[in-house]
Amino acid sequence: MNLQGLRVMGIDPGLTRCGLSVVQAGRGRQVIPIAVGVARTPSDVELSERLLRISKSVSDWMDEYKPDVVAMERIFERSNVSTVMHTAHAVGVMVLAAAERDIPVHMYTPSEVKKSVSGNGRADKKQMTTMITRILGLSEPPKPADAADALAIAVCHCWRAPLLARASAIEKLRKN
């Protein structure tokens, strides 16, 4: 399976702060960074308006960079229920934006991303930033700092995509 050229949009979902990235798969395990950024919405604005803004930002990125696939961090229940709910609402509108453009969405848990990128499912933020800087051949750590996660998610998908493609091809052969 050669997925060279595959363009992946990585999303670290959030309503207050949402990490966005775009990378492109190169030869072998090479990954080329295309864009990185953070979409923010102020917490004192109404939920409707915040979802409208997040939807607009993510849609603009999709229309500008035309990713083949979206990779997103799967959210889990954490201590602050209200934050999780807000994040889950944001995930809803972002998955919808992808679906409206026929872009498939893959979800990865934080430990899947860490394991794939650093070899260690429990790597800390510093280790992850170091690895991402190295993998993407950047001269300094990606900025803004909290967008590094979005890059890691996109890299994780680039490296797992060949396996997923192979698994799906085998599945199809079995059915025929």
Q: Binding to its own copies by residue 18, rule CB under 8 A?
A: no
Among positions 30-49, residues that touch its own copies (CB under 8 A) are: 47-49
Closer to its own copies by Cβ: residue 32 or 96: 96
Selecting among 60, 146, 149, 171, the annotated active-site residue is: 146
> Among this protein's residues, is 171 annotated catalytic?
no
Picking from 99, 83, 95, 108, the residue whose alpha carbon sits closest to that of residue 15 is: 83
Q: State yes or no: residue 104 binds its own copies (CB under 8 A).
A: yes
Q: Flag whether 60 is marked binding.
A: no
Residue 44 CA, chain-centre distance (Å), reads: 26
- Decide whether 63 or 124 has the Cβ nearer to its own copies: 63
Is 146 one of the annotated active-site residues of the chain? yes
Find, among 13, 20, 81, 103, the residue nearest to 51 by Cα: 13
Per the rule left: phi > 0, alpha: psi between -120 and 50, beta: everything else, 88 is alpha
- Asked whether 106 and 71 are in contact (CB, 8 A), the reply is yes
Distance of CA 154 to the CA centre of its chain: 5
Minimum distance from residue 13 beta carbon to its own copies (Å): 11
Chain residues that interact with its own copies, rule: CB under 8 A: 47-49, 51-52, 55, 75-77, 81, 84-85, 88-93, 95-96, 98-100, 104-105
